[in-house]
Homo-oligomer: A and B are copies of this chain.
Amino acid sequence: MAEPLTVDRPDDPRLSDYTGLTDVDLRRTREPAEGLFIAEGEKVIRRALRAGYRMRSMLLSAKWLEVMRDVIDASDAPVYAVTPELAERVTGYHVHRGALASMQRKPLPSAAGALGSARRVAVMESVNDHTNIGAVFRSAAALGMDAVLLSPDCADPLYRRSVKVSMGAVFAVPYARVETWPRDLEEVRAAGFRLLALTPDERAVPIDTAVPRDGTGAGTGARVALMLGAEGRGLSARALAAADEWVRIPMAHGVDSLNVGAAAAVAFYAVARGRDGEG
């Protein structure tokens, strides 16, 4: 338990975890290097703690001291009480959620570690937009994907915006980076996963026939790794070549694509329904 410390200078070194939060380039480098990430808002902070992340400190405006009292009491991390104006000067924006926490990252598992006993995993290639990666994690968690693998150039799931858009789902689903892309997908296959590449290509099979519900199809018994590319470009030729099968979401009305969040949600649902059957 820590008593809140009132801080009134923007250059107070104790606030350094929170400086320049709107400078994406700076934060993208600094946060992994320093082993921290920022959780914003009561709900996300509580979810990070429940997921076992250690709190380094909290930055609160006065009205949040009461709301977060139980969190403060249960933690040894220092709590800095600041005015909304000071919070804005330090972070660079108006912190309307009123509560920020600096959390300690955990070492990422290896790909094999993240796979563990997972039956269904999402594999993302070059999804380098923080909003999109957060949205995909939220859907992956909700729709029953057991783990996520990321190509080396995917955005950081623990970046503030990713965490926020995911509603904390980045804490709920284990994830890892694939070191050599796409070569190391071979290890995923060796672990018994069938690699399905999501693509609008007409030669791909409809996703619900690739992962059939009735248990008679090729997917039966196999673990499934669903590969997704970035908005617009989709999966690279090399990634498509590394897959066992290409799958597509059937489209109507001459529409040629869904946005990446919608496509991912549909694909996760199809994969989950296919293997679980009814109910």
Q: Are B142 and A253 in contact (CB under 8 A)?
A: yes
Q: How far is the CA of A254 from the CA of B169 in the complex (A)?
A: 10
Q: Which B residues are in CB contact (< 8 Å) with A144? A: 250, 252-253
Q: How far is the CA of A266 from the CA of B269 in the complex (A)?
A: 7
Scoring A135, A249, A250 by chain B CB atoms within 10 A of each residue's CB, the highest score goes to A250
Q: Which B residues are in CB contact (< 8 Å) with A213? A: 213
Contact check: which of B173, B255, B259, B265 meets A266 at CB < 8 Å? Answer: B265
State which residues 259-277 of A face B: CB under 8 Å: 259, 261-266, 269-270, 272-273
Q: Are B172 and A254 in contact (CB under 8 A)?
A: yes
The yes or no answer to A278 lying at the interface (CB within 8 A) is yes
How far does the Cβ of A196 sit from chain B's closest Cβ, in whole Å? 16
Q: Which B residues are in CB contact (< 8 Å) with A278? A: 206, 208-209, 212
Q: Are A141 and B255 in contact (CB under 8 A)?
A: yes
State which residues 161-182 of A face B: CB under 8 Å: 167, 169, 172-173
How far does the Cβ of A18 sit from chain B's closest Cβ, in whole Å? 27
Q: Are A258 and B265 in contact (CB under 8 A)?
A: yes
Contact check: which of B139, B173, B250 meets A258 at CB < 8 Å? Answer: B139
Q: Which B residues are in CB contact (< 8 Å) with A258? A: 138-139, 142-143, 265
- Nearest 5 A/B pairs, CB to CB: A262-B265, A144-B252, A142-B255, A141-B253, A266-B269
Q: A139-B262, A209-B279, A266-B269 are in contact. List 19 more A-B contacts (CB 8 A).
A: A135-B259, A138-B258, A138-B262, A139-B258, A141-B253, A141-B255, A142-B251, A143-B251, A143-B258, A172-B254, A172-B255, A208-B278, A250-B279, A258-B265, A261-B261, A261-B262, A263-B265, A265-B265, A269-B270
